[in-house]
Amino acid sequence: MDQNSKKRKVAESVLDLIENAEILGIGSGSTVNILIEYLPKVKNKIQDIVSSSVKSTELLKANGFDVNELRAVGKLSKYIDGADEVNKYLHMIKGGGGALTREKILAHNSEKFICIVDESKKVDTLGKFPLPVEVIPLAQSAIALELIKIGGRPVLREGFTSDNGNIILDVHNLEISQPLALEAKINNIPGVITNGIFAMDHAHLLLSAGDNQVEITEPIV
């Protein structure tokens, strides 16, 4: 089974976890785009829906949904999103699509965060995928120097501006053995909006699609 078929398989499988009167948060990325195609099948179960990106909002509207704002709905009952990498603790790297800040806000404000991936995203140690860091443009050079000090090689994401009007540095060469500590350390650099480590706000449930089945796992404590 090719990667796209696995993405379709896991996106369809998560529909079974959507319950009545859900206040649902939707993330972004290729797997979530497929999920949005399938969501009309369970539209009668969704009370409100909130999106983490402009692109996801546009796709949701194209599929017949009225998209609300987080401030209008309060706490989300579930937040569904993909990941660029995920480990056995359900710590993740996210932000390959550039929506990491809004994704983290929705993850933090949800009762249950469900991550959906194909099995290629599962790793033992985070960091092979370059870590996105959203920064205020004024602080780009100063933040880059700080990221070099911790062993990273920051590269400006050329031609990209986040939905929040900021830039992203993609940090290569990191082996993230302590995701909680590194997430906090990078976030404490002045001018950083947030970084793509989701350890403080990790997923509560992982659905990962392989060749034969969708595996459902909880984080190892």
Note whether 164 and 182 are same-domain residues. yes
Note whether 64 and 113 are same-domain residues. yes
Note whether 119 and 157 are same-domain residues. no
Note whether 14 and 105 are same-domain residues. yes
Note whether 23 and 43 are same-domain residues. yes
Phi, psi of 16 (to 5 degrees): -65, -20
Domain that holds residue 45: 3-123+200-217
Q: How many folded domains does the chain comprise?
A: 2
pLDDT of residue 176: 97
CATH code of 188's domain: 3.30.70.260
CA–CA dist 137, 122 (Å, integer): 32
- pLDDT band for position 1 (50/70/90)? confident
∠ CA 101-103-107 to the nearest 5 degrees?
Answer: 120
CA–CA dist 174, 195 (Å, integer): 13
pLDDT digits (tens, 9 = 90+) for 129-176: 999 999 999 999 999 999 999 999 999 999 999 999 999 999 999 999
Length of the chain: 221
pLDDT digits (tens, 9 = 90+) for 90-124: 999 999 999 999 999 999 999 999 999 999 999 99
Average pLDDT, the chain: 97
Set 103, 134, 146, 183: catalytic member: 103
Give yes or no for a contact between 26 and 49, defined as CB atoms under 8 angstroms apart: yes
Helix 30-38 vs helix 54-62: angle between axes, to the nearest 10 degrees? 20
Note whether 62 and 152 are same-domain residues. no
Note whether 190 and 204 are same-domain residues. no
Note whether 32 and 112 are same-domain residues. yes
218 is a catalytic site residue: no
CATH code of 100's domain: 3.40.50.1360
